[in-house]
Structure 1
Protein backbone atom coordinates (compact mmCIF):
# COMPACT_ATOMS: atom_id res chain seq x y z
CA UNK A 1 0.00 0.00 0.00
CA UNK A 2 2.92 2.27 -0.63
CA UNK A 3 0.87 4.51 -2.91
CA UNK A 4 -1.60 5.52 -0.22
CA UNK A 5 1.14 5.94 2.34
CA UNK A 6 2.51 8.77 0.24
CA UNK A 7 -0.76 10.72 0.43
CA UNK A 8 -1.06 13.51 2.98
CA UNK A 9 -4.23 13.77 5.07
CA UNK A 10 -5.43 16.84 6.90
CA UNK A 11 -6.09 16.48 10.59
CA UNK A 12 -8.61 13.78 11.41
CA UNK A 13 -10.26 12.74 14.70
CA UNK A 14 -8.23 10.40 16.91
CA UNK A 15 -10.56 7.46 16.32
CA UNK A 16 -10.21 7.90 12.59
CA UNK A 17 -6.42 7.95 12.91
CA UNK A 18 -6.64 4.45 14.40
CA UNK A 19 -8.81 3.30 11.50
CA UNK A 20 -6.48 4.82 8.93
CA UNK A 21 -3.48 3.40 10.73
CA UNK A 22 -4.85 -0.11 10.62
CA UNK A 23 -5.69 0.30 6.95
CA UNK A 24 -2.30 1.58 5.85
CA UNK A 25 -0.16 -0.31 8.42
CA UNK A 26 1.43 2.86 9.83
CA UNK A 27 0.39 5.97 11.80
CA UNK A 28 -0.63 8.93 9.67
CA UNK A 29 1.11 12.26 10.05
CA UNK A 30 -1.10 15.32 10.11
CA UNK A 31 -0.51 18.20 7.76
CA UNK A 32 -0.55 21.84 8.95
CA UNK A 33 -3.92 23.04 10.18
CA UNK A 34 -4.30 25.98 7.78
CA UNK A 35 -6.40 27.72 10.42
CA UNK A 36 -6.09 31.04 8.60
CA UNK A 37 -8.18 29.77 5.69
CA UNK A 38 -11.96 30.08 5.68
CA UNK A 39 -14.16 27.02 5.26
CA UNK A 40 -14.78 27.96 1.62
CA UNK A 41 -11.08 28.33 0.82
CA UNK A 42 -9.45 25.03 1.68
CA UNK A 43 -5.92 24.26 0.49
CA UNK A 44 -5.29 21.75 -2.26
CA UNK A 45 -4.65 18.15 -1.40
CA UNK A 46 -1.01 17.27 -1.82
CA UNK A 47 0.77 14.20 -3.05
CA UNK A 48 4.28 13.23 -4.00
CA UNK A 49 5.31 13.74 -7.60
CA UNK A 50 5.46 9.96 -8.04
CA UNK A 51 2.45 8.59 -9.87
CA UNK A 52 -0.03 7.08 -7.43
CA UNK A 53 -1.80 3.82 -8.19
CA UNK A 54 -4.37 2.07 -6.01
CA UNK A 55 -4.27 -1.70 -5.92
CA UNK A 56 -7.53 -3.67 -5.95
CA UNK A 57 -7.00 -4.55 -2.29
CA UNK A 58 -6.67 -0.88 -1.38
CA UNK A 59 -9.83 0.02 -3.27
CA UNK A 60 -11.69 -2.77 -1.49
CA UNK A 61 -10.55 -1.51 1.91
CA UNK A 62 -11.48 2.08 1.05
CA UNK A 63 -14.92 0.98 -0.13
CA UNK A 64 -15.41 -0.84 3.17
CA UNK A 65 -14.17 2.07 5.26
CA UNK A 66 -16.19 4.91 3.72
CA UNK A 67 -19.63 3.48 4.72
CA UNK A 68 -18.29 2.83 8.25
CA UNK A 69 -17.19 6.45 8.53
CA UNK A 70 -20.60 7.61 7.32
CA UNK A 71 -22.42 5.34 9.77
CA UNK A 72 -20.29 6.66 12.63
CA UNK A 73 -20.96 10.31 11.66
CA UNK A 74 -17.34 10.93 10.67
CA UNK A 75 -18.23 12.60 7.39
CA UNK A 76 -15.31 15.02 7.55
CA UNK A 77 -12.96 12.05 7.57
CA UNK A 78 -14.95 10.37 4.79
CA UNK A 79 -14.47 13.52 2.71
CA UNK A 80 -10.73 13.42 3.42
CA UNK A 81 -10.45 9.76 2.49
CA UNK A 82 -12.50 10.09 -0.70
CA UNK A 83 -10.68 13.14 -2.04
CA UNK A 84 -7.33 11.63 -1.14
CA UNK A 85 -8.18 8.37 -2.92
CA UNK A 86 -9.14 10.38 -6.01
CA UNK A 87 -5.56 11.67 -6.19
CA UNK A 88 -4.61 8.24 -7.51
CA UNK A 89 -7.01 8.75 -10.45
CA UNK A 90 -8.99 5.52 -10.03
CA UNK A 91 -12.02 4.87 -12.27
CA UNK A 92 -14.91 6.55 -10.47
CA UNK A 93 -17.00 3.40 -10.72
CA UNK A 94 -14.32 1.58 -8.72
CA UNK A 95 -15.24 3.64 -5.66
CA UNK A 96 -18.52 2.89 -3.92
CA UNK A 97 -19.75 6.47 -3.47
CA UNK A 98 -23.52 5.94 -3.27
CA UNK A 99 -23.61 5.64 0.54
CA UNK A 100 -21.20 8.56 0.91
CA UNK A 101 -23.18 10.89 -1.38
CA UNK A 102 -26.48 9.86 0.23
CA UNK A 103 -25.02 10.65 3.66
CA UNK A 104 -23.89 14.08 2.47
CA UNK A 105 -27.35 14.85 1.08
CA UNK A 106 -29.02 13.63 4.29
CA UNK A 107 -27.23 16.13 6.53
CA UNK A 108 -29.17 19.07 8.03
CA UNK A 109 -26.68 21.50 6.46
CA UNK A 110 -24.27 21.54 3.52
CA UNK A 111 -21.02 21.82 5.48
CA UNK A 112 -19.58 18.49 4.39
CA UNK A 113 -20.99 18.63 0.85
CA UNK A 114 -19.41 22.03 0.24
CA UNK A 115 -16.19 20.83 1.87
CA UNK A 116 -16.06 18.02 -0.69
CA UNK A 117 -16.63 20.39 -3.62
CA UNK A 118 -14.10 22.89 -2.28
CA UNK A 119 -11.39 20.27 -1.84
CA UNK A 120 -12.00 19.01 -5.38
CA UNK A 121 -11.91 22.59 -6.64
CA UNK A 122 -8.42 23.09 -5.24
CA UNK A 123 -7.17 19.79 -6.64
CA UNK A 124 -6.82 20.06 -10.44
CA UNK A 125 -6.10 16.36 -10.84
CA UNK A 126 -9.59 15.69 -9.46
CA UNK A 127 -11.43 17.91 -11.95
CA UNK A 128 -12.66 14.98 -14.11
CA UNK A 129 -14.54 13.66 -11.07
CA UNK A 130 -16.39 16.87 -10.19
CA UNK A 131 -19.16 16.67 -12.78
CA UNK A 132 -20.25 13.05 -12.11
CA UNK A 133 -20.04 13.63 -8.34
CA UNK A 134 -22.20 16.76 -8.67
CA UNK A 135 -24.76 14.82 -10.70
CA UNK A 136 -24.95 12.19 -7.96
CA UNK A 137 -25.19 14.81 -5.21
CA UNK A 138 -27.84 16.94 -6.90
CA UNK A 139 -29.92 13.90 -7.85
CA UNK A 140 -29.83 12.80 -4.22
CA UNK A 141 -30.91 16.26 -3.07
CA UNK A 142 -33.87 16.25 -5.45
CA UNK A 143 -34.85 12.75 -4.34
CA UNK A 144 -34.93 14.07 -0.77
CA UNK A 145 -36.90 17.20 -1.81
CA UNK A 146 -34.01 19.44 -0.81
CA UNK A 147 -34.37 21.98 -3.59
CA UNK A 148 -32.58 24.85 -1.86
CA UNK A 149 -29.52 22.69 -1.34
CA UNK A 150 -29.56 21.59 -4.97
CA UNK A 151 -29.79 25.22 -6.10
CA UNK A 152 -26.81 26.12 -3.92
CA UNK A 153 -24.78 23.54 -5.81
CA UNK A 154 -25.97 25.10 -9.07
CA UNK A 155 -24.90 28.54 -7.86
CA UNK A 156 -21.51 27.09 -6.92
CA UNK A 157 -21.11 25.80 -10.47
CA UNK A 158 -22.07 29.21 -11.88
CA UNK A 159 -19.31 31.07 -10.03
CA UNK A 160 -16.59 32.56 -12.25
CA UNK A 161 -13.91 30.53 -10.45
CA UNK A 162 -15.80 27.24 -10.62
CA UNK A 163 -13.81 24.42 -12.24
CA UNK A 164 -17.04 22.83 -13.51
CA UNK A 165 -19.69 24.87 -15.30
CA UNK A 166 -23.08 23.26 -16.04
CA UNK A 167 -23.49 21.32 -19.27
CA UNK A 168 -26.72 20.37 -21.04
CA UNK A 169 -27.21 17.27 -18.91
CA UNK A 170 -26.80 19.15 -15.64
CA UNK A 171 -29.07 21.98 -16.78
CA UNK A 172 -31.66 19.35 -17.64
CA UNK A 173 -31.42 17.69 -14.23
CA UNK A 174 -31.94 21.01 -12.48
CA UNK A 175 -34.81 22.24 -14.64
CA UNK A 176 -36.66 18.92 -14.43
CA UNK A 177 -36.11 18.59 -10.70
CA UNK A 178 -37.22 22.15 -9.97
CA UNK A 179 -40.17 22.59 -12.34
CA UNK A 180 -41.72 19.21 -11.57
CA UNK A 181 -41.95 20.26 -7.94
CA UNK A 182 -43.63 23.59 -8.52
CA UNK A 183 -40.62 25.92 -8.27
CA UNK A 184 -41.17 27.28 -11.76
CA UNK A 185 -39.60 30.69 -11.17
CA UNK A 186 -36.34 29.03 -10.12
CA UNK A 187 -36.66 26.75 -13.15
CA UNK A 188 -36.96 29.78 -15.43
CA UNK A 189 -33.80 31.22 -13.88
CA UNK A 190 -31.87 28.04 -14.59
CA UNK A 191 -33.34 27.98 -18.11
CA UNK A 192 -32.20 31.57 -18.59
CA UNK A 193 -28.67 30.55 -17.59
CA UNK A 194 -28.81 27.65 -20.03
CA UNK A 195 -29.99 29.83 -22.94
CA UNK A 196 -27.44 32.47 -21.94
CA UNK A 197 -24.76 29.80 -22.34
CA UNK A 198 -26.06 29.28 -25.89
CA UNK A 199 -27.49 25.85 -25.16
CA UNK A 200 -30.86 24.89 -26.65
CA UNK A 201 -33.12 22.83 -24.36
CA UNK A 202 -34.44 19.64 -25.91
CA UNK A 203 -38.14 19.00 -26.52
CA UNK A 204 -38.60 17.13 -23.26
CA UNK A 205 -37.10 20.01 -21.29
CA UNK A 206 -39.22 22.62 -23.05
CA UNK A 207 -42.29 20.51 -22.37
CA UNK A 208 -41.38 20.33 -18.68
CA UNK A 209 -41.17 24.13 -18.41
CA UNK A 210 -44.36 24.55 -20.45
CA UNK A 211 -46.35 22.22 -18.20
CA UNK A 212 -44.85 23.84 -15.12
CA UNK A 213 -46.14 27.24 -16.24
CA UNK A 214 -49.58 25.79 -17.00
CA UNK A 215 -49.77 24.28 -13.50
CA UNK A 216 -49.09 27.77 -12.15
CA UNK A 217 -52.01 29.05 -14.25
CA UNK A 218 -49.60 31.12 -16.35
CA UNK A 219 -51.18 30.21 -19.67
CA UNK A 220 -50.13 33.30 -21.60
CA UNK A 221 -46.52 32.99 -20.44
CA UNK A 222 -46.49 29.29 -21.37
CA UNK A 223 -47.78 30.00 -24.89
CA UNK A 224 -45.42 32.92 -25.37
CA UNK A 225 -42.39 30.90 -24.35
CA UNK A 226 -43.49 27.90 -26.39
CA UNK A 227 -43.87 30.08 -29.50
CA UNK A 228 -40.46 31.66 -28.92
CA UNK A 229 -38.83 28.25 -28.85
CA UNK A 230 -40.16 27.67 -32.33
CA UNK A 231 -37.26 29.75 -33.62
CA UNK A 232 -33.85 28.77 -32.26
CA UNK A 233 -31.44 30.54 -34.60
CA UNK A 234 -29.06 33.24 -33.35
CA UNK A 235 -31.65 36.02 -33.22
CA UNK A 236 -34.24 33.62 -31.87
CA UNK A 237 -32.01 32.69 -28.92
CA UNK A 238 -31.57 36.38 -28.08
CA UNK A 239 -35.35 36.85 -28.12
CA UNK A 240 -35.84 33.82 -25.88
CA UNK A 241 -33.28 35.19 -23.43
CA UNK A 242 -34.98 38.60 -23.34
CA UNK A 243 -38.36 36.91 -22.89
CA UNK A 244 -37.09 34.83 -19.98
CA UNK A 245 -35.59 37.90 -18.32
CA UNK A 246 -38.93 39.72 -18.67
CA UNK A 247 -40.94 36.80 -17.30
CA UNK A 248 -38.62 36.55 -14.29
CA UNK A 249 -38.76 40.27 -13.55
CA UNK A 250 -42.55 40.37 -13.88
CA UNK A 251 -43.15 37.19 -11.86
CA UNK A 252 -45.62 37.63 -9.03
CA UNK A 253 -46.92 34.92 -6.75
Structure 2
Protein backbone atom coordinates (compact mmCIF):
# COMPACT_ATOMS: atom_id res chain seq x y z
CA UNK A 1 0.00 0.00 0.00
CA UNK A 2 2.75 2.44 0.93
CA UNK A 3 4.67 1.68 -2.26
CA UNK A 4 1.58 2.43 -4.32
CA UNK A 5 1.15 5.78 -2.53
CA UNK A 6 4.79 6.64 -3.21
CA UNK A 7 4.42 5.77 -6.90
CA UNK A 8 1.34 8.01 -7.13
CA UNK A 9 3.22 10.84 -5.45
CA UNK A 10 6.21 10.47 -7.75
CA UNK A 11 4.09 10.39 -10.89
CA UNK A 12 2.24 13.57 -9.94
CA UNK A 13 5.38 15.49 -8.99
CA UNK A 14 7.72 14.17 -11.70
CA UNK A 15 7.58 17.34 -13.77
CA UNK A 16 8.50 19.48 -10.79
CA UNK A 17 11.31 17.17 -9.71
CA UNK A 18 13.82 17.92 -12.47
CA UNK A 19 17.12 19.25 -11.19
CA UNK A 20 19.31 22.00 -12.54
CA UNK A 21 22.56 21.07 -14.32
CA UNK A 22 24.57 22.33 -11.34
CA UNK A 23 22.57 20.12 -8.95
CA UNK A 24 23.14 17.10 -11.22
CA UNK A 25 26.87 17.87 -11.28
CA UNK A 26 26.89 18.16 -7.48
CA UNK A 27 25.28 14.73 -7.14
CA UNK A 28 27.72 13.29 -9.67
CA UNK A 29 30.75 14.50 -7.71
CA UNK A 30 29.30 13.84 -4.26
CA UNK A 31 28.60 10.12 -4.75
CA UNK A 32 32.27 9.06 -5.11
CA UNK A 33 33.33 11.34 -2.25
CA UNK A 34 30.77 9.76 0.07
CA UNK A 35 32.04 6.28 -0.74
CA UNK A 36 35.69 7.32 -0.35
CA UNK A 37 34.92 8.76 3.08
CA UNK A 38 33.19 5.57 4.26
CA UNK A 39 29.63 6.90 3.99
CA UNK A 40 28.26 3.99 1.94
CA UNK A 41 24.72 4.09 3.47
CA UNK A 42 24.40 7.80 2.64
CA UNK A 43 25.76 7.19 -0.87
CA UNK A 44 23.23 4.37 -1.31
CA UNK A 45 20.34 6.64 -0.39
CA UNK A 46 21.57 9.41 -2.68
CA UNK A 47 22.07 6.95 -5.55
CA UNK A 48 18.55 5.55 -5.14
CA UNK A 49 17.08 9.04 -4.97
CA UNK A 50 18.94 10.14 -8.10
CA UNK A 51 17.76 7.04 -9.99
CA UNK A 52 14.17 7.89 -9.04
CA UNK A 53 14.46 11.31 -10.67
CA UNK A 54 13.12 11.77 -14.18
CA UNK A 55 15.78 12.19 -16.88
CA UNK A 56 18.23 13.72 -17.20
CA UNK A 57 20.09 11.76 -14.55
CA UNK A 58 23.41 12.81 -13.06
CA UNK A 59 26.51 11.49 -14.77
CA UNK A 60 27.50 8.21 -13.16
CA UNK A 61 30.99 8.14 -14.75
CA UNK A 62 32.84 9.45 -11.63
CA UNK A 63 31.05 6.89 -9.45
CA UNK A 64 31.76 4.10 -11.93
CA UNK A 65 35.45 5.00 -12.12
CA UNK A 66 35.78 4.94 -8.36
CA UNK A 67 33.93 1.64 -7.94
CA UNK A 68 35.99 -0.10 -10.62
CA UNK A 69 39.22 1.10 -8.98
CA UNK A 70 38.41 -0.36 -5.55
CA UNK A 71 40.18 -3.61 -4.59
CA UNK A 72 36.99 -5.64 -4.09
CA UNK A 73 33.37 -5.72 -5.21
CA UNK A 74 31.81 -5.24 -1.77
CA UNK A 75 30.98 -1.51 -2.09
CA UNK A 76 29.71 -1.97 -5.65
CA UNK A 77 27.44 -4.88 -4.80
CA UNK A 78 26.28 -3.12 -1.64
CA UNK A 79 25.22 -0.08 -3.67
CA UNK A 80 23.50 -2.23 -6.29
CA UNK A 81 21.68 -4.26 -3.64
CA UNK A 82 20.51 -1.09 -1.90
CA UNK A 83 18.92 -0.06 -5.20
CA UNK A 84 17.39 -3.52 -5.68
CA UNK A 85 15.79 -3.58 -2.24
CA UNK A 86 14.68 0.06 -2.19
CA UNK A 87 10.90 0.17 -1.58
CA UNK A 88 10.25 2.16 -4.79
CA UNK A 89 12.41 -0.15 -6.98
CA UNK A 90 14.33 2.49 -8.97
CA UNK A 91 15.72 1.29 -12.27
CA UNK A 92 19.50 0.77 -12.18
CA UNK A 93 19.67 0.99 -16.00
CA UNK A 94 20.95 4.62 -16.12
CA UNK A 95 23.88 3.53 -13.92
CA UNK A 96 24.76 0.36 -15.82
CA UNK A 97 26.40 1.50 -19.08
CA UNK A 98 29.12 3.59 -17.38
CA UNK A 99 29.52 1.05 -14.56
CA UNK A 100 29.83 -1.96 -16.83
CA UNK A 101 32.10 -0.10 -19.25
CA UNK A 102 34.40 0.95 -16.43
CA UNK A 103 34.57 -2.58 -15.05
CA UNK A 104 35.15 -4.13 -18.47
CA UNK A 105 38.07 -1.81 -19.21
CA UNK A 106 39.80 -1.92 -15.83
CA UNK A 107 38.88 -5.14 -14.03
CA UNK A 108 38.99 -8.86 -14.65
CA UNK A 109 36.31 -10.53 -16.75
CA UNK A 110 35.21 -12.41 -13.64
CA UNK A 111 34.44 -9.17 -11.77
CA UNK A 112 32.80 -7.64 -14.84
CA UNK A 113 30.60 -10.67 -15.33
CA UNK A 114 29.48 -10.50 -11.69
CA UNK A 115 28.32 -6.94 -12.29
CA UNK A 116 26.53 -7.89 -15.51
CA UNK A 117 24.86 -10.98 -14.05
CA UNK A 118 23.69 -9.01 -11.02
CA UNK A 119 21.27 -7.28 -13.39
CA UNK A 120 20.26 -10.61 -14.96
CA UNK A 121 19.28 -12.32 -11.69
CA UNK A 122 15.83 -13.93 -11.65
CA UNK A 123 14.62 -11.60 -8.89
CA UNK A 124 15.67 -8.48 -10.80
CA UNK A 125 12.75 -6.22 -11.64
CA UNK A 126 14.73 -4.50 -14.41
CA UNK A 127 16.42 -6.40 -17.23
CA UNK A 128 19.41 -5.23 -19.26
CA UNK A 129 18.42 -3.13 -22.21
CA UNK A 130 19.87 -3.34 -25.71
CA UNK A 131 22.60 -0.84 -24.84
CA UNK A 132 23.87 -2.93 -21.91
CA UNK A 133 23.86 -6.16 -23.96
CA UNK A 134 25.69 -4.43 -26.82
CA UNK A 135 28.32 -3.08 -24.43
CA UNK A 136 28.89 -6.48 -22.81
CA UNK A 137 29.17 -8.25 -26.16
CA UNK A 138 31.52 -5.66 -27.64
CA UNK A 139 34.03 -6.00 -24.80
CA UNK A 140 33.66 -9.78 -24.61
CA UNK A 141 34.38 -10.19 -28.31
CA UNK A 142 37.46 -7.97 -28.04
CA UNK A 143 39.20 -10.50 -25.81
TM-score of the aligned structures, taking structure 2 as reference length: 0.70
Partner of 2:84: 121
Do the aligned partners of 1:67 and 1:100 also contact (CA within 8 Å) in 2? yes
Partner of 1:235: none
C-alpha distance in 2 between matches for 1:169 and 1:100: 19
Partner of 2:65: 102
Structure with the larger helix share: 2
Do the aligned partners of 2:84 and 2:124 also contact (CA within 8 Å) in 1? yes
1:153 matched to 2:118: no
Q: Which has the higher contact order (CA 8 A, sep 6+)?
A: 2
1:74 matched to 2:38: yes
Secondary structure of the structure 2 residue equivalent to 1:172? helix
Secondary structure of the structure 2 residue equivalent to 1:131? coil
Matches within 5 A, 1:155-170: 155-170=117-132
Q: Provide the aligned C-alpha RMSD in A.
A: 3.0
Do the aligned partners of 2:100 and 2:115 also contact (CA within 8 Å) in 1? yes
1:135 matched to 2:100: no
Partner of 1:198: none
Do the aligned partners of 2:32 and 2:66 also contact (CA within 8 Å) in 1? no
Partner of 1:179: 141
Structure 1 residue 161 displacement after superposition:
1.0
Q: Which runs of 5+ in 1 are unaligned?
A: 1-43, 182-253
With over 3 angstroms needed to count, the CA separation of the structure-2 counterparts of 1:164 and 1:55, relative to structure 1, is closer
Which protein shows a greater Rg? 1
C-alpha distance in 2 between matches for 1:92 and 1:75: 25
Aligned residues: 131
C-alpha distance in 1 between matches for 2:119 and 2:19: 33
Do the aligned partners of 2:65 and 2:99 also contact (CA within 8 Å) in 1? yes
With over 3 angstroms needed to count, the CA separation of the structure-2 counterparts of 1:91 and 1:68, relative to structure 1, is same
